[in-house]
């Protein structure tokens, strides 16, 4: 098939660029387990860009029950939203420690996401074969902590960090977190997500608002299992006392309340002696994109006849112009000192108007009285 022929479809990149594609299934490639039971994952090749990808879409069986249908579309939306936020938050310099969203198609009837294939295998699969070698353990630890700091800086809460979503590449000793189908933005209301022991107490209870430190609990258990070989899911209490070298690392993380845990940045710097790879938090220029995403999600659910997502924050007003990677972050200023002359004149007009309205009311009262 010639690259000059008509493309079979289009998708949007995380930077809202429209890209033509010609996706051909790769039946001999194992896609692994999908990141969510209500989604399908199909290996494809884009013959225009000449690269292999994973096509993530809603499982047709999910359409049989309305509640499954809503969960499936929400899971796909979460993957797209998290991937877009990470790409824009890192301004395109995508970290190898996190899965990469190449693009998505947001048609209400047949939405999909395109992801780069995973690097390595899940820790859960590796654990059935062997433990990490001595030289791999520090690389695994630092890679996981680095991923957490980037997620924190991008304002993304993964909410499903487990041995199934943390991958290890034996070839080059690198880690990658995948499976963002439960992810959300920090500050959104918590919903009951996950199972013990991997999900933190506040996640399982669904109270308060999502905090990047929710993920520290999950990552701490994954790290303990990876470094010691201990089956964290098969026992009740972690034997930290048997591993005194890990106590300084994990004690500040395995605290019941999220607000009492350390931060990912502090943990990374204290453990590695390096500054966090991404500092300064999420720029304000991501807000218009978030508002656009929420409006699109609400429209899609309306078209599909799905109920509104009560757990999600409400869509904001429409941005005046689409945000792009080259757009500078908007400047937000707060007036804390005396009013400027223009502000004083505005208040003067308001006071005159109020005085006129008061006088008119009194006159009307006297006239009618």
**248-254-256-257 Cα dihedral, nearest 10 degrees:** 70
What mean pLDDT value characterizes the chain?
81
| Extents of the domains making up the chain | 8-117+283-309, 120-278
Q: Identify the CATH homologous superfamily for domain 120-278.
A: Transferase(Phosphotransferase) domain 1 (1.10.510.10)
Encoding tokens for residue 181?
């189908």
> Residue 180 pLDDT > 60, yes or no?
yes
pLDDT in tens, 265-295: 999 999 999 999 987 656 565 666 666 666 6
Confidence of residue 61 (pLDDT cuts 50, 70, 90): confident
Please give the average per-residue pLDDT across 131-150, as a whole number.
96
Confidence of residue 109 (pLDDT cuts 50, 70, 90): confident
Q: What is the pLDDT of residue 55?
A: 97
Encoding tokens for residue 108?
């209400």
Which secondary-structure segment (H or E) carries 114? strand 112-115
Please give the average per-residue pLDDT across 62-70, as a whole number.
80
> Residue 353 pLDDT > 80, yes or no?
no
> Residue 47 pLDDT > 50, yes or no?
yes
Q: What is the pLDDT of residue 60?
A: 85
Please give the average per-residue pLDDT across 82-97, as a whole number.
93
Q: What is the pLDDT of residue 32?
A: 83
Encoding tokens for residue 220?
């701490």
Please give the average per-residue pLDDT across 343-366, as a whole number.
40
Please give the average per-residue pLDDT across 294-315, as a whole number.
60
- 268 CB-near residues (< 8 Å, 6+ apart): 145, 146, 148, 149, 274, 276
Q: Which of 182-186, 232-236, 307-311 has the highest mean pLDDT?
A: 182-186
Separation between Cα atoms, residue 245 and residue 266, nearest integer Å: 18
Q: What is the pLDDT of residue 220?
A: 96
- DSSP 3-state of 315: coil
Q: What is the pLDDT of residue 110?
A: 87
Over pLDDT 90: what percentage of the chain? 60
Query: What DSSP letter does each residue of 118-138 carry, written as one string?
Result: PSSEEHHHHHTT-PPPHHHHH
Residue of 254 and 303 predicted with greater confidence: 254
Query: What DSSP letter does each residue of 188-248 carry, written as one string?
Result: SBP-----TTTS-HHHHHT-SB--TTHHHHHHHHHHHHHHH---TTSSSS--GGG-TTTHH
pLDDT in tens, 223-240: 999 999 998 887 767 899
Helices and strands in the chain: count of H runs, count of E runs? 9, 12
Q: What is the pLDDT of residue 345?
A: 40
Q: What is the pLDDT of residue 304?
A: 60
Q: What is the pLDDT of residue 31?
A: 83
Confidence of residue 361 (pLDDT cuts 50, 70, 90): very low
pLDDT in tens, 328-339: 332 222 222 333
Q: What is the pLDDT of residue 28?
A: 86
> Residue 49 pLDDT > 90, yes or no?
yes
pTM value is 0.77
Please give the average per-residue pLDDT across 183-200, as a whole number.
93
Encoding tokens for residue 48?
């225009």
> Residue 34 pLDDT > 60, yes or no?
yes
Q: What is the pLDDT of residue 238?
A: 86
Q: What is the pLDDT of residue 297?
A: 64
Instruction: Pick the range with the lowest mean pLDDT from 137-151, 210-224, 233-247, 348-362.
Output: 348-362
Q: What is the pLDDT of residue 339?
A: 33
> Residue 259 pLDDT > 60, yes or no?
yes
Q: What is the pLDDT of residue 366?
A: 31
């Amino acid at each position: 098939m010639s690259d000059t022929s008509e493309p079979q479809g289009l998708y949007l990149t995380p930077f809202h660029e429209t890209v033509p594609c010609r996706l051909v299934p790769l039946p001999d490639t194992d896609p692994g387990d999908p990141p969510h039971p209500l989604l399908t994952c199909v290996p494809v090749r884009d013959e225009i860009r000449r690269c292999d990808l994973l096509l993530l879409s809603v499982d047709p069986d999910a359409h049989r029950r309305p509640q499954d249908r809503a969960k499936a579309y929400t899971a796909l939306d979460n993957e797209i939203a998290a991937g877009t936020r990470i790409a824009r938050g890192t301004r395109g310099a995508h970290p190898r420690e996190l899965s990469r969203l190449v693009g998505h198609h947001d048609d209400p009837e047949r939405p999909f996401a395109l992801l780069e294939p995973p690097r390595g295998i899940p820790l859960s699969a590796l654990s059935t074969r062997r433990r990490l070698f001595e030289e791999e353990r520090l690389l695994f630890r630092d890679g996981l902590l680095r991923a957490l700091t980037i997620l924190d800086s991008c304002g993304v809460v993964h909410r499903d960090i487990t041995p199934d979503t943390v991958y290890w590449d034996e070839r080059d000793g690198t880690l990658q977190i995948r499976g963002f189908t439960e992810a959300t933005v920090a500050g959104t209301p918590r919903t009951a997500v996950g199972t013990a022991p991997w999900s933190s107490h506040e996640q399982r209870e669904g109270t308060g608002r999502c905090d990047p430190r929710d993920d520290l609990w999950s990552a701490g258990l994954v790290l303990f299992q990876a470094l010691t070989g201990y089956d964290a899911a098969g026992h009740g209490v972690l034997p930290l006392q048997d591993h005194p070298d890990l106590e300084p690392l994990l004690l500040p993380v395995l605290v019941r309340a999220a607000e009492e845990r350390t931060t990912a940045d502090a943990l990374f710097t204290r453990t590695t002696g390096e500054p966090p790879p991404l500092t300064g938090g999420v720029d304000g220029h991501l807000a218009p994109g978030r508002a656009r995403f929420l409006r699109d999600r609400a429209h899609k659910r309306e078209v599909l006849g799905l109920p509104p997502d009560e757990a999600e924050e409400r869509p904001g007003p429409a941005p005046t112009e689409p945000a792009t990677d080259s757009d500078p972050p908007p400047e937000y200023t707060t007036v804390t000192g005396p009013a400027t002359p223009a502000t004083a004149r505005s208040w003067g007009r308001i006071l005159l108007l109020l005085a006129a309205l008061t006088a008119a009311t009194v006159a009307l009262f006297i006239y009618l009285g």
